[in-house]
């Protein structure tokens, strides 16, 4: 199988561009990596975004529902649970309106950039793709 990820460096957060979600999911499966997907089209606020990510990524019920907790759930507990095969993450239709403004979007993407750096330090592939609504 020719994976669409062959031209994407291993620890990056980037626009989904021409990639299709199904192709990314298939590539993750082919590589034996975790595939995490969240469609955020119905989110109206930061809290909605965090709630939707928590639900769609199946975070534990004790998830703190703030950006620090999001980073924590994407990094250390997973690392401590044993060897990880890598990650392909898709954040689709991140809201772009007054209640989730540019600053909030950048903070969200910074969490995933920091997670990519965390996993890069551990030589684990972490690719995150996103699109805006």
Q: Where are the beta strands (DSSP E) in 11-125?
A: 11-15, 34-39, 87-94
Convert the pLDDT of each residue in 72-123 to its tens digit. 999 988 778 888 999 999 999 999 988 899 999 999 999 999 999 999 999 9
The domains of the chain, with CATH numbers, are 4-132 (3.30.370.10)
Residue 119 CB partners (closer than 8 Å, separation 6+): 11, 75, 84, 86, 87, 125, 126
Cα separation of 80 and 5, whole Å? 26
- In the chain, the percentage of residues whose pLDDT exceeds 70 is 98
Residue 1 pLDDT greater than 60, yes or no: no
pTM > 0.85: yes
Q: How confident is the model at residue 62 (pLDDT cuts 50, 70, 90)?
A: confident
Contact 87, 31 (CB under 8 A): no
Cα separation of 111 and 74, whole Å? 9
């Amino acid at each position: 199988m020719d994976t669409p990820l062959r031209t994407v460096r291993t620890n990056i957060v980037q626009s989904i561009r021409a990639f299709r979600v199904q192709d990314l999911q298939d590539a993750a499966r082919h590589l034996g990596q975790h595939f995490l997907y969240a469609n955020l089209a119905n989110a109206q606020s930061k809290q909605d975004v965090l709630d939707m990510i928590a639900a769609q990524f199946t975070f534990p019920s004790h998830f703190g529902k703030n950006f620090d907790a999001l980073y924590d759930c994407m990094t250390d507990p997973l690392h401590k649970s044993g060897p990880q095969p890598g990650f392909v993450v898709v954040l689709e239709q991140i809201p772009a309106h007054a209640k989730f403004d540019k600053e909030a979007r950048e903070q969200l993407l910074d969490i995933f950039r920091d997670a990519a750096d965390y996993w890069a330090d551990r030589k684990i592939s972490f690719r995150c793709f996103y699109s805006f609504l």
